[in-house]
Structure 1
C-alpha cells in the first residue's frame, strides 16, 4: 500500500520586507514583537534576512519534530550559529553534527551530571555569599551587572577552581556584553555587511581575539595547578576518580581525558561553557529579582521555603532539593523572558514540515520566546505565575518549554544552570531581608538573550535587630518583621 501524497500548504511570507535588507530591519529594531507576530501568519512563515529566505516555525509541536523526531533532517547551522562560531569556534553548542560532536559530548557529559556538579557546590556557595555579603546596604545597584558578575564568578570557581587569578575574571566580565551585542548584529545583517572593513566589524574581531587570549591564560593556569589526587568533599563524600579537587574544577575532566582535546578545542569549549553560563543565567536572575520585587506574595513564599530548609544557618548544597518553589519561580522567569529568542537549524535536504515545503540548505528558525508566549499553551502568557509549574497543574504546556532545547543537541549544562540559579537566588534572599526596585520597570531587549534594558535595586534589612550567622544576617524566619514571622 503506497503512502498518501503529502499536501503542500502555501508558506506565507511575513509582511514588511525591504529591498536588500528583507526583514533584517525588523529583527534589529523590534525583534520580539516581530517574532511573536509571525504566529498569526501560519505554523511555518517565510522571512528574508537580506536576500536569503529563512523559515520560522511558530508551532512548538513542529519545533519538536525539528529537534527530536526528525533531527537528522535539520543540522546545527544557520545565521545565528554561523555568527556564534566566530567566537565559539567548534564548541559543543556550535560544532556540526557528526562524530566530533558525539565524541565531545560524551567526553563532557560526566562534567555535568548531578553528582559531579555537587563536588563544586560548597565552593560556589562560598564565592557567591562573599560577593553578595560585600554589597553595601541601601546602595543603588545595577542588577543585570551584578547577576552577570555572580554567575561568572560562580562558574569560574566550578570550571577552573578556587585559585584562578582575578585578571581573567574581570576582563571576561568587561568583554562579554560588547561581544554578544556584536554577535547579534552579525546575525541580523546581510552577510556582505558583516564582511566590510567597518569599525564595528574590526572591533568585534579584536574583542574575540582578546577573549581567546584570556581563556588561554585560564587554561594554562588550571593545567599547572591540577592536583595529583582527588580529595574528599564535605558535600558528597569521597570523590569519584575524576572528580575535581577543592582547588581544581570541572574543566580538569577535559585536561586529563584519555584522548585530550587540542588547544583550539579546549578554547572553544571553555568559551562556549562560560558564555552560556553567564549570559543566560545572569539574565534569568535579573528578571527573577524584578518579578519578586513586584510580587510580595511570591517573595514571602520564597523566604518561608528558604527558612524552612535552612533554619538559621547558611545554605548548603544539599538544601537545593528542598526548594521546589524557588525552582518554579526561576522556571517561570525563564518562560516569560526566554532567555534565548531565536535559534537556527539548516535543512539537510528538501523536507516537508507541517505540510510546508522547505528547500535543502534553508535556515529553519525556532524561538523559545515565541513558543513560551503562545496563549494556547500558556494562558495569559504575559502574567508572571510560578504556579504554572506546580505539580498539581496539568502538564499540557510543558512540551512548549524549550529554553534548553531538546533532542540530541539539548543544552548539556541544564543541571548546572538550575543549581547555579538556585544558589545565587538563595544567597541574595538569605543575606538581604529587603529588596527594592528603584528604577523604572525594565523593557526587554533581544540581544542573544532577552535582557532588561535597565534595572536597579537596593538591598537592606527590615530593621536594625538582625542577628548574624557566619557574619551574615539570620534567615527571614529569625529576623523580626520578616515575611517568615
Structure 2
C-alpha cells in the first residue's frame, strides 16, 4: 500500500448502514462475514457504530503502522476497550499507554519468564491428566465447554496454587461467559443505551461486582499460602522484579520447590516498585481479571477448534500420534517434552490462524493522522481484525483450508509475519504468549495421548463473541493405546 504519499482522500464508507444504528446490525448479525467483506472496499474503510464513525484497517502492512511504526498516534482505546475496562479496570490489557502501563508490564514480565513458567509445568500436566482421565469412554461431551472449564481450572492452579475453594472455581466458570457476552453487547450498542437502567445493564454490573469479590477471595487464599511457606527473605524470590529472570538461569528442579502450593501470582503479591511501592488491592484485582480472561476465552477456544479439526482429518491425527509416541512412548507427558512437539505446535497455530483468538481490536487516534492516504481525525476509533488478516488470500494460500504444514520451517518463511496477530504486536503484544503456548501444548498433548475424539454433533459454525467460538461442538472420547516409541539414534 502507498503509505501517506499522495493527496489524502476520505476513506470509503461500507455499504449497508441504517439510520441511528449505522452498521451495528451487521456487526451483531453477521460480524465475520461483514468484516471480511470490507477488504474489497479498500485498506481503510469507514463504518458507523450508532452515529459514531470508526475506521477498519484491512491490510496487514497498514495495521503494522498502527501497532508498531506509528504507535504513538494510536493509543489503546475505542469502544471495545471502554467496554472491557468496565470489568478489567486498569489491567494490563486496558490501561492507557504511558508510564503506568510500562510499570505494570515491567512488574508482570517476570511472572511470564520461560523459567518461571516451567516451575508450574508438571503441576499443570498432573491437573490436566487427572481431569481428562475422569472422562467416560463413549459418552459424548460438550467439547467447547470442556476446554473452557479445563483451561480455567488449569490456569487457576498455575496462577493461585492448589487448594482454591471449589465454589470460587465454579462461579468463575459461570460468570465469565455471561460477562463476556455483556461486554460485546456494550460494544456494539450506542453508548447511551448501555447507560440506561435496563435489566441487562444491571445484570452485567452485578456480575462484574461478583467477579471482583471472587478475585479477592482467590488473592486472600494465595496470600495465606505464601504466609505458610518457608522464609526465603535472604534471597530475592524467583520471578520478582529484583531477580534477573532468564530462561537460562536456574533449573526447574531448583525453582519448583514448593511449587504444588505456590503460584505465578506470587510475583505480583511480592512486587515492590521503587517509586510507587507494591500494587494496591484494586490493581491486583484488575491484573488478575485481565489474566484470567485472556487465559480462559482464547486458550479454550483454540483447543476446541484444534480438537475438531484433528477429528476430521485422519492424517493430521496420525502425525500427532506419531510425534507424541516418539517423544513419550507409553509414559505420561513431562514438562521437558513440550519443546519436542513442533507438529503439534503447528496444529495449534493453524487453529489460531483460522479461528482467532480475538476477531476485533480497537485503538484510538491521539492526533489527526493520514493512514494509507486516508485522513482520520483525532479521537477516532481505529479497528483491526486478526480474523480478517489471517484469512487474507494474498497472505495465506487457501485460507479456508486447515493446513498445519503452512507453519513448517520452509513454508512459514513465505508468510508475512505481520499478518498473524493472535498475540498482537508492538509494545502491547500479549505478555502471556509463552504461558499460552505452554498451556495449549500441555492440554492438547495430554488429551491426544490418551483419547481419540469423534464429532457427535453437526459441524460447528464460527460465532464471533470475544473470540471466534464454535456455536455447538459435541465430541465422543475413545481410548487409544500409544505405540511404544522406536529406539532412535
Name the TM-score class by shorter chain. Answer: over 0.9
Question: Once the 2 structures are TM-superposed, how far is the Cα of residue 6 of structure 1 from its aligned partner?
Answer: 4.6
Question: Once the 2 structures are TM-superposed, how far is the Cα of residue 260 of structure 1 from its aligned partner?
Answer: 1.4
Question: Once the 2 structures are TM-superposed, how far is the Cα of residue 33 of structure 1 from its aligned partner?
Answer: 0.1
**For the structure 1 residues 387 and 229, does the alpha-carbon distance in structure 2 shift closer, same or farther, using more than 3 Å as the test?**
farther
Note if contact 1:180-1:448 (Cα within 8 Å) is conserved in structure 2. yes
Tell me the TM-score normalized by structure 1: 0.92
Note if contact 1:244-1:252 (Cα within 8 Å) is conserved in structure 2. no
Report which structure shows greater RCO (CA 8 Å, sep ≥6).
2
The whole-number CA distance in structure 2 between the counterparts of 1:47 and 1:73 is 20
Q: Of residues 320, 328, 351 in structure 1, which corresponds to 2:369?
A: 351
Is structure 2 residue 449 aligned with structure 1 residue 430?
yes
Note if contact 2:63-2:384 (Cα within 8 Å) is conserved in structure 1. yes
The whole-number CA distance in structure 2 between the counterparts of 1:385 and 1:245 is 38
Q: How do 1:294-333 residues align onto structure 2 when only pairs under 5 Å count?
A: 294-333=312-351
The whole-number CA distance in structure 1 between the counterparts of 2:5 and 2:168 is 58
Cα shift readout 1:35-58 (whole Å, capped 9, x = no counterpart): 000000000000000000000000
Q: Of residues 371, 378, 386 in structure 1, which corresponds to 2:389?
A: 371
The whole-number CA distance in structure 1 between the counterparts of 2:47 and 2:311 is 38
The whole-number CA distance in structure 1 between the counterparts of 2:468 and 2:131 is 25
Q: Equivalent residue of 1:119, what SS?
A: helix
2:245 corresponds to:
none
The whole-number CA distance in structure 2 between the counterparts of 1:244 and 1:180 is 35
2:255 corresponds to:
239
1:469 corresponds to:
none
1:483 corresponds to:
none
Q: Of residues 264, 269, 272 in structure 1, which corresponds to 2:287?
A: 269
1:388 corresponds to:
406
2:130 corresponds to:
130
**For the structure 1 residues 260 and 173, does the alpha-carbon distance in structure 2 shift closer, same or farther, using more than 3 Å as the test?**
same
The whole-number CA distance in structure 1 between the counterparts of 2:352 and 2:94 is 22
Is structure 2 residue 212 aligned with structure 1 residue 212?
yes
Is structure 2 residue 472 aligned with structure 1 residue 477?
no
Note if contact 1:244-1:250 (Cα within 8 Å) is conserved in structure 2. no
CA RMSD, aligned part only?
A: 1.7
Q: Equivalent residue of 2:483, what SS?
A: helix
Aligned length: 460
Q: Equivalent residue of 1:162, what SS?
A: coil
Unaligned runs of 5+ in 1: 463-473, 480-485
**For the structure 1 residues 168 and 205, does the alpha-carbon distance in structure 2 shift closer, same or farther, using more than 3 Å as the test?**
same
Q: How do 1:114-153 residues align onto structure 2 when only pairs under 5 Å count?
A: 114-153=114-153
Note if contact 2:358-2:468 (Cα within 8 Å) is conserved in structure 1. yes
Cα shift readout 1:411-469 (whole Å, capped 9, x = no counterpart): 0000000110000001101121x21111000001000100000000011125xxxxxxx
Which 4+ runs in 1 deviate beyond 6 A? none
2:203 corresponds to:
203
The whole-number CA distance in structure 2 between the counterparts of 1:344 and 1:18 is 22
Tell me the TM-score normalized by structure 2: 0.92
Q: Equivalent residue of 1:12, what SS?
A: coil
Q: Equivalent residue of 1:238, what SS?
A: helix
